[in-house]
Structure 1
Amino acid sequence: MKHNQHLPDEYFQQPPQPFNKFSEKSILQNSLGGTLYMPGTRKIIDKLIQKELPELKSMVMCLEDAVPEQDLELAEENIIYHLESLYEAIQQGDLTIDEIPLIFIRARNTEQFLNFSNKITKKTAYVLTGFVFPKFYSYNANIYLEKLKQINLKLDSKLYAMPILEGKTIAYRESRSKELEKLKLILDPYQEQILNIRIGGTDFSSLFGVRRSMHSTVYDILPVRDAISDILNFFNRMEDSYTVSAPVWEYFLAYKKDDLLKYMRDDIHRSLLTKEPILNDAIDGLLREVVQDKANGMVGKTVIHPSHLRFVNAMQAVTLEEYEDAIQILETHGGVIKSRNGNKMNEIAPHRNWAKRITLRAQAYGVINDESEYMRLFLSPVDKQH
């Protein structure tokens, strides 16, 4: 797999690098991009085998909120069928592991995970990347993590965990810090199997009876913003190896194929900040939130529609100015120097952690010339023909 692969490598100043589920953790945790959630009952095996979803690089098959209780057994069977079919497709030469997206299963709760995990075999673990653990609290964290550790030992596999931090204990200020501190202590010994920390933005919003519109972002909702801020404070520190993914964008895109060609602009960030129309309300809202996700150090984002993928993944690309600043900082020992563009100072020690993150993003999503090139990354192969 490779992000933004609908454009040739020659388009990039530095092209995105390929990855698969067996890549190093430091690569994978920065390569999730837009992670598509879907009900565990959804049947997409034919599209995966026939390679009809080229923009899909990571996906979650959900056994929790998206599946009614009466359909849970059907959803479990469907997921196993997908995993077994993908394994067989590899054995028959119809697919390679490089062509299979990073696949995760979102458990319903600890009881369901304990039961369902017994259905995972060596074959299905070969094509599975890991599990998403919802409503992850200090009282159930060890159950999830210890069982996952046992699965990996039993199957000689490397399945990852992606806990979702959500719910009252983290949303409410009086209990949040203590709960996050407990979770950090629990997670640290299992750090090698934690691929990503995810944030339940919709769950937080629900607790306060609010919801962002297409014209605002999750960061405009003050109690939700505070919860996100504290999660980042605990889990986005450079001395640890955690990464944090941004909350879900919950609006479907009202996308018309001619929008992108009609509204090409030179400076996408300025237009987003001033709320000048770029494409349409739904796309502009998504892009505006992704800009703030990146500014706060989050990598990737949960999405609910395939049309979101190209926009989230494109916006992860690094501009040449960012990349040159990062390389300059990493290759210099101490002090302060003028950036290559001459428009800012690069303080070597304070900016080094930022530079490390920029190079990891550049490896996963590529380096483009400048911000105007984001628009060209938005174009699908179909758009480019018109």
Structure 2
Amino acid sequence: MTYSPIDDIIKAYPIKLKGNTMKHHLYNPDFKFVREPESFDKYTDRELLQYCLGATMYMPGTKNFTPKILNGSMPGLTTVVLCFEDACPEDSVEAAEKNVYHLLDTVTDAVENGTLDPDRVPLIFVRIRNLEQFRHFAKGLDKHKAKSLCGINFPKFNAENGYEYFAYLKGLSEVLGDTLYGMPIIEDPEVAYKESRITELLGIKRILDKYHDLVLQVRVGGTDFSSVFGVRRGVDYSIYDIMTVRECLADIMNICGRNNDYVISGPVWEYFRAPKELMFEELPSHSLEDYLFKRQTIVNNEVDGLLREVILDKANGFVGRTVIHPTHVRFVNALMAVTKEEYDDACMILGNTQGGVVKGSGGNKMNEIRPHTNWATKIFMRARAFGVIENQSEYVKLFNVK
């Protein structure tokens, strides 16, 4: 086998697998990647796993999602969050908790007895309501259930409640003898308000740094931020067009995304159509971005708006995003794949130990080794999680599956 400097890069970012393993784009098994996405599970090293969540689908904690996992009816779905908060009425929380216990037990049993393929098990999270409800839910957990639970999402995360959330999570993980990750959701009005935002974000950052190894991703609440200002983006606009919300997202990225300290995911896109209306007869012949930003239809207004926003996510450093409709999953995850030119540039930068400037792989740009290293690391890890495709035209082929 021929030696490649990329061998050393991969050694620097190892992957450990144990138990359940899956990978992205299983809905399109015939697609030809330049480099295949890697398998992962909840025990994969955090340095890679934090990039793997992709389209993270929220649903009410009362929803009986167990059959869909057992029969593999959603092969592209890799991350789910069962919500005890906004999506669940208060008087249904106890029923939601029991539903989640049943799901976790059933999935663990099915994997262990061989009736469920491990690569069909998504990363499973729960979004708790508050610390009191978190403690109540935790009392019903045991080591068996924990095998199928990846972590806890903390809503309205701020500099006051954050320490208690993570301190309790750390203790729970130790009691269960298993890793449970925390995903803070930054959506509090104190972050929305300009006069308190930076102080609040710096306080949040101190909490994240204290519990760094338990933080899988930082999530953001675009809808909550919008509600503070009484605005809502329309189907023809992106969240980045809403100035007050854009400022919130920019400051979150500034404080929490420096030097790739934490992976930050994009906010939810609210518009969708029925699945039968998603596909098109002919594949576009030009670049995806040429169509989207010149407002030439790719799929329909609802999906095109999502695609446009995900492209802007990537440009601003966000990885993956929250979704509330299953038809969004493959579009988000497809766009997380990396083009060969991006990948080659990233490998060139990470494999260079001399510094300086070199010509990019496409002969159309400069790669400045030190300034571009953080970018290259993010691209390289995304490539491992979502795969490498030949060029931008391949995005449409990747998500265009009936």
Q: TM-score range by the shorter chain?
A: over 0.9
- Determine whether 1:252 maps to 2:257: no
Alpha-carbon offset, residue 260 of structure 1? 3.1
- Determine whether 1:68 maps to 2:79: no
Report what 2:19 is aligned to: none
Bigger Cα displacement from structure 2, 366-375 vs 257-266: 257-266
- Residue type of the partner of 1:64? E
Consecutive unaligned residues in structure 2, runs of 5 or more? 1-21
* CA–CA distance in structure 2, aligned partners of residues 252 and 301 of structure 1: 15
* TM-superposition CA deviations, 1:177-216 (whole Å, max 9, x none): 0001111112211000000000010000001000001100
Choose from 37, 45, 58 the match for 2:79: 58
Report what 1:316 is aligned to: 336
Same amino acid, percent of matched pairs: 47
* CA–CA distance in structure 1, aligned partners of residues 255 and 368 of structure 2: 25
Report what 1:49 is aligned to: 70
Report what 1:24 is aligned to: 45
CA contact (8 A) 1:253 1:308 kept: no
Report what 1:183 is aligned to: 204
- Determine whether 1:215 maps to 2:240: no
Choose from 298, 302, 327 the match for 2:318: 298
- Residue type of the partner of 1:24? D
- State the secondary structure of the residue aligned to 1:163: strand
Length-normalised TM-score, structure 1: 0.96
Choose from 291, 294, 298 the match for 1:271: 291
- State the secondary structure of the residue aligned to 2:254: helix
* CA–CA distance in structure 2, aligned partners of residues 28 and 314 of structure 1: 17
Alpha-carbon offset, residue 338 of structure 1? 1.2
Distance verdict in 2 for CA 1:9–1:19, change over 3 Å: farther
- State the secondary structure of the residue aligned to 1:35: strand
Choose from 231, 243, 261 the match for 2:252: 231
Consecutive unaligned residues in structure 1, runs of 5 or more? none
Matches within 5 A, 1:98-137: 98-137=119-158
Alpha-carbon offset, residue 8 of structure 1? 4.3
* CA–CA distance in structure 2, aligned partners of residues 371 and 85 of structure 1: 40
CA contact (8 A) 2:283 2:397 kept: no
Bigger Cα displacement from structure 2, 252-261 vs 210-219: 252-261
- Determine whether 1:94 maps to 2:119: no
Alpha-carbon offset, residue 220 of structure 1? 0.5
Aligned residues: 380
Alpha-carbon offset, residue 6 of structure 1? 3.5
* CA–CA distance in structure 2, aligned partners of residues 364 and 261 of structure 1: 30
CA contact (8 A) 2:158 2:186 kept: yes
Q: Tell me the C-alpha RMSD between the 2 structures.
A: 1.4
CA contact (8 A) 1:38 1:61 kept: yes
Length-normalised TM-score, structure 2: 0.92
CA contact (8 A) 1:252 1:304 kept: no
CA contact (8 A) 1:254 1:282 kept: no
Alpha-carbon offset, residue 231 of structure 1? 0.3
Alpha-carbon offset, residue 250 of structure 1? 1.2
Alpha-carbon offset, residue 259 of structure 1? 3.0
Q: Please list every run of at least 4 consecutive aligned residues from structure 1 whose deviation after the TM superposition is greater than 4 angstroms.
A: none
